[in-house]
Amino acid sequence: MSSSLFTPIKLAGREFANRIVISPMCQYSAENGNANDWHMMHLGMLSNSGASLMILEATAVEAIGRITPGDLGLYSDDNEAALGKVLAALRRYGTAQIGVQISHAGRKASAQSPWEGGRSLPAGQGDWQSIAPSAIPFAESWPSPRPFEAEDFKRVRDGFVATAKRAARLGFDALELHGAHGYLLHSFLSPLANHREDAYGGDFEGRTRFPLEVFDAVREVWPSDRPLGVRISASDWAEGGWTIEESVTFAKILKERGCDFIDCSSGGVTLGIKIPTSPGYQVPFAAQVKREAGIPTMAVGLIVEPKQAERIVAKGEADMVALARTVLDEPHWGWRAARELGGEIAFPPQYARAAPALWPGHSFREDSSVMD
């Protein structure tokens, strides 16, 4: 029986060999937004994971849109040149097609890296003024962001457009707008973060206005033969927050405007919300958006085992599965999935000798009794 996970899929004008995606994962290791040797190592490893698509980490559209001083950026010529060197190596040696997630951190900007504590940067220690739809801090200990003014709407929208143009020029195969996890676009969508009383707040139409303006502006410059998608937090998991029903309606509107896929995550708009995590806990969001909005979806969140990923795709709950910490723990997860599910993946020729047909160690691994 053929594997659903290893069935090709076409989005826009691109065909992807299987349904495995490397999810964007912030590394907090750039220098003034510039990719460096760490990105070469990290992305080089994952570009040969067996996934058909690898989406680079949240990449800022302006310097104050970085989460931390170490965030990747694509807002300057230096950023573009540095990332171009990494991409050249990935294309030469990797097997995955490459996408990028472009983002603005909004009120969650000016923060420490996770290993430094993940809190707001202390005043006078490299911090900067964050911006958001309303002057509502991300957490009690965080400073209040400056509310968006008229010039901010144009500057940020233009920043997304300029970054999308740079991404197209670099030859990325797919582009994803980050509208999740409490960052800027999500904070406009969520009633928990957006208390504006003008045309960009209030009801659903007002709260979705700016994210849709950004999407439309990017859609205008992003090549139509390369997928353009949006990552959303399908639910805030909180009373009075953004809901799955609103996500379905939002996805329908995005589809009408030329969106090619929805990447369904959840949460992140505020601290202290308890999310009932369990294997595949966010898959129902992807399933509902796919079913009710009629748009391809990516499922994320504690997708760990190949048979679990196979079931998600085979049952039609999502079109693709996006893996993050799963592949940090097991960089060649796709190789194992192919063995277990009877799929085929592209091996870099330097590693082909480790393929099941050429290395008897696979049978020893699967029969541990031979080592007793």
Q: Terminal CA-to-CA distance of the chain, rounded, Å?
A: 33
DSSP state of 300: -
Q: Work out the percent of the chain whose per-residue pLDDT is above 70.
A: 98
| Helical ranges in 47-137 per DSSP H | 77-93
CA distances from 164 to 29, 134, 297 (A): 22, 26, 21
Residue 316 burial by Cβ neighbours in a 10 Å radius (0-12, 13-18, 19+): exposed
Domain spanning 9-371, CATH architecture: Alpha-Beta Barrel (3.20)
Per-residue pLDDT, averaged over 336-357, amounts to 89
The one catalytic residue among 28, 75, 183, 200: 183
Query: What's the CA gap between 133 and 145, in Å, rounded?
Result: 9
- Could you count the other beta carbons within 10 Å of the beta carbon of residue 58? 27
Mind listing the pLDDT tens digit for each residue in 244-300? Answer: 999 999 999 999 999 999 999 999 999 888 898 999 999 999 999 999 999 999 999
- Ramachandran bin of 274, using left for φ above 0, alpha for ψ from -120 to 50, beta for the remaining angles: beta
Query: What's the CA gap between 356 and 359, in Å, rounded?
Result: 5
Domain ranges of the chain: 9-371
Residue 28 a catalytic site member: no
- Could you count the other beta carbons within 10 Å of the beta carbon of residue 132? 28
- Write down the pTM of the prediction: 0.95
Q: Which helix (H) or strand (E) holds 258?
A: none
Q: Is 60 in contact with 12 (CB distance < 8 Å)?
A: no
Tell me the range of 152-156, 343-347, 356-360 where mean pLDDT is highest: 152-156
* Beta-bridge mates of residue 120: 111
Give the pLDDT score at 370.
45
Mind listing the pLDDT tens digit for each residue in 180-214? Answer: 999 999 999 999 999 999 999 999 999 999 999 99
Per-residue pLDDT, averaged over 7-25, amounts to 97
